[in-house]
Each structure stands twice: as structure tokens, then as C-alpha cells.
Amino acid sequence: MNSAEHVAAVFEQRRPFLLGLAYRILGSRAEAEDVVQELFIKWLEADRASIATPAAWLTTACTRHCIDLLRSVHKSRVDYVGTWLPEPIHTTHQDSPEHKHELASSLSTAFLLLLERLTPKERAAYLLYEIFDMDYAQVADAVGVQESACRKLVSRAKARLGSGQTRFQPEPARQDQLLSAFHRAIASGSTSSLTAMLAEDVELCADSGGKASAIRETLSGISSVLDFIAQSLHVYWQTCEWLPCEINGAQGVIIKADGVITASMTFGVDEAGRVSRIFIMRNPEKLAGLEASLLLQ
């Protein structure tokens, strides 16, 4: 392997980690991929003789780029039309650290939304320390602060997240059971078998970005959510193609109409295994990434 090939190989070995980190910080697959591609160019142009530990250098460069980018995108999320949700990503079961339970649960839509409570530096520090198991000294270097300040960032992040930082991930069999119950309810319009599977304070929200028809306000409470499933989703989706698919580390579904992906749906669950959050993605720009990843299978 020549020098250029070796340089590229070092980066490619680290690419999955960098993509996973960037996606969790930004909540956008497209933005994460852009960050990593820009980082690749920066890596090729770097004075590598002065880089003692490539992995640490790449992690630091990725983290700081994401922090800067997150500051600028926060305003666009405030001005977003309707509810903003993280861009859904298709994940697959593999024997790799990325698909360990802890990492998979940190990809969930519910958890990524929770991270929106944090400042960019708090979010990066929390993820590096709590999810990627880096020590405070490593996190401090990556974020660009003193170790004492890093500890405060992580502590503040934990306080802001509160009990929400506990991530509940049902067993695969339970996930399949929930998805089947939703499918029956939407296909038939009868929600009787679904009632016991929902938390009393369940919420349903949809992200259209103003580019597709969808509810703009979050529905709260089991009665409102069941009525919406029976009266609206039943009408819209009963004849659509229903494709179970692993999305953001758990079982979700892709909805196709006339062969085109028009929606995806994922769930958040509580400690009792009941559905507490229902997330519907309708924004065609965000769904495009899901379609592209399915074509690569």
C-alpha cells in the first residue's frame, strides 16, 4: 500500500465512528456526511508528521466542526415550519460496537430530540463522555476546553436531561409486537388492541417542514392519538405499502404509496414497554436519505 492509500485507509477505518458522532451531535444525516467529507479533505491536506494520534486528531476536528455548525443551524430549527425531528437513518444489525445496545439506543429519535435541550458544547461533551466512553481529558481536548470546564459541561448536560437520559429499548420481540399492533390498527381503523400498548400521556408529532401535508401541533393523550390513528392514518395509509425497517436503532416502518416513500414512523417507549412517543416523518428531503440507504442493500 503506497503512502496515499495508507493515508486514505487510516481515515476510512475511522469514518463510521466519525459519522456516528457527527450524526448524534447534529441530528442530520446529510449534515453529518458533509462534515465527514470536509474532514477527509482536511485530513489529506494536514501535516500528518505533527499528528501523534490520528484517531484523536480526527475526533477533535470532527467535534469542533460539528459544534460550530450546530450553532448556526439552531436558528433554522427555531424558524422551522411545524415540528422539527431528527433526520431518520436506516440502521442494520451488525456485529460491531455501533450496534451494541447502548449505542443503538442513543440513536433513537426520542433521545436525539432530548439532546436539543443542550448547548452545542454540552451536547458534544455529553456524547463523547457518556456514549463513546472517552475520559474527561480526551473530551476536554476534543471540545477545546480545560478539563475542569469539561466536567462542568457534562454535569450541566446531565442536569438538563434529567431522567430523560435513561434510554429504554424494548427487546426485538416486543418491538415487532408493537409494530404489528400499529399495522392492524391503521389497516382496520380499529384501535382496541392498541390501547393497552400506549402510555396514558402518549404524544404523536410529525415533521413535514412545510413540504408535505401533516399535523403541525403535537397530539397529547391516549384519546387524541387513538382518534388520529383511527380517523386519519387509517384513511391515508390503509392502502399503502407497509415496510418494517430498522430506523434509528429500533424497529420502525416505512410507508410507500405507488412505490414512493411518503412517510416513516418510529417510536419512543417508557420503562414499562409502552409507546410514549410516536414520530412521523413526512419531509421528503429527510426521507430521501432513507430511500438512498435502502437502495444500497
- Over residues 246-272, the pLDDT tens digits come to 999 889 999 999 999 999 999 999 988
Residue 93 in contact with residue 99, Cβ under 8 Å? yes
Segment 71-105, tens digit of pLDDT? 888 777 778 889 999 999 998 755 444 445 556 67
Q: In terms of DSSP bridges, do strands 250-257 and 219-220 run parallel, antiparallel, or are they unpaired? A: unpaired
Q: Which three cell numbers stand for residue 185?
A: 390498527
Q: What CATH code is assigned to 3-79+117-165?
A: 1.20.140.160
**pTM over 0.75, yes/no:** yes
CATH architecture for segment(s) 172-295 = Roll (3.10)
Domain boundaries, the chain: 3-79+117-165, 172-295
